[in-house]
Structure 1
């Protein structure tokens, strides 16, 4: 499944609504921690694409079919900027610059790869019955590594 995203900040909310609507039938309940984390990751990655590239992007979502407890959910946002994600430190008063740090803390895996003339940033969440130790926010923990660094996707 995929959604084309225009370079407009209002598209971030539309992307979240679209992702929520895709949860039905996947076996992932809208109020379970995995769903909440997925929606936050959609918001962060689409925001990065919209804010830092000023170009259209494509949101791709791979969900399990039915209630599969050990399935992996994959989220990708492809844009037309070929610039790699660059780590940056966000000061305590900064209003931005923490998006990929959140992705790093919340996703089980994430990365990026060149795609056409641009790139694709992806992340995966493993659906399991027990929250993983040290996971952040929706999984109830928090990693100290998330406190010092932020990343910018441009």
Structure 2
């Protein structure tokens, strides 16, 4: 699934609404911590594309399908460990540049948030532009078998984040 983004800050809100509707359609409820994390990640990645490139972008959301699997138990395990992937493709070849914001600065924390909230993230050149992506693993304590996800702190500069 993808959404075309215009180079307009108002598009960030539209991207969040679009992502919420896609998450709900995939069985990820709006009040789940996973949904809240994913919406924040959408907001940060789309904001970066809109603010720092001034060019159109594309938001892609890859959601796992939970309707497959021969048994209910296998579906529950697949649902518990599934990965959701967000990508933003833009037309700027300039790589993302993490910053460490000081004190009262209002900008410069976006990639630190992505680093702290996502299980993995990165970027790659894509034609004349780039693709910035992040992945979040869906962990559930209610799976049919024991499934655990490590919540090891992620480090970013001299800051540390722990996803709980």
| TM-score exceeds 0.5 | yes
* Structure 1 residue 110 corresponds to structure 2 residue 125: no
| Residue in structure 1 matched with residue 134 of structure 2 by the alignment | 123
Distance 1:22 1:132 in 2: 26
What RMSD in Å do the two structures reach over aligned CA positions? Answer: 1.7
For residue 39 of structure 2, give the secondary structure of its aligned residue in structure 1: helix
Q: Give me the whole-angstrom Cα distance separating, in 1, the residues matched to 2:98 and 2:26.
A: 34
Contact 1:27 1:64 in 2 (8 A): no
Which deviations, in whole Å up to 9, do the C-alpha atoms of 1:108-142 show, x marking residues without a partner?
A: 0000000110001000000111564246xxxxxxx
Q: In the comparison of the two structures, how many residue pairs are matched? A: 141
Task: Work out the CA distance in 1 between the residues paired with 2:56 and 2:6.
Answer: 5
Shift of 1:148: 3.7
> What's the CA shift string for 1:68-110, capped at 9, x where partnerless?
2211000000000101112322111100100000000000000
Q: Give the 3 Å change call, closer, same or farther, for CA 84–147 of structure 1 in structure 2.
A: closer
Structure 2 gap segments, 5+ residues each: 68-78, 142-148, 160-164
- Distance in 1, matches of 2:8 and 2:158, equals 29
Instruction: Please report how far the alpha carbon of residue 65 of structure 1 lies from its aligned counterpart in structure 2 after TM superposition.
Output: 1.8
Q: Which structure has the greater CA radius of gyration?
A: 2
Larger RCO (alpha carbons 8 Å, 6+ apart) = 1
SS of equivalent to 1:92: coil
- For 2:44 and 2:98, the matched residues in 1 are separated by 15
Q: Please give the per-residue CA displacement for 1:9-32, whole angstroms capped at 9, x wherever unaligned.
A: 000000000000001231211110
Contact 1:80 1:117 (C-alpha < 8 Å) held by counterparts = yes
Contact kept, 8 Å, 2:99 with 2:111, in 1: the verdict is no
Q: Which residue of 2 aligns with 1:140?
A: none
What CA distance in whole angstroms lies between the structure 1 residues aligned with 2:94 and 2:157? 25
Gap regions ≥5 residues in structure 1: 136-142, 150-154
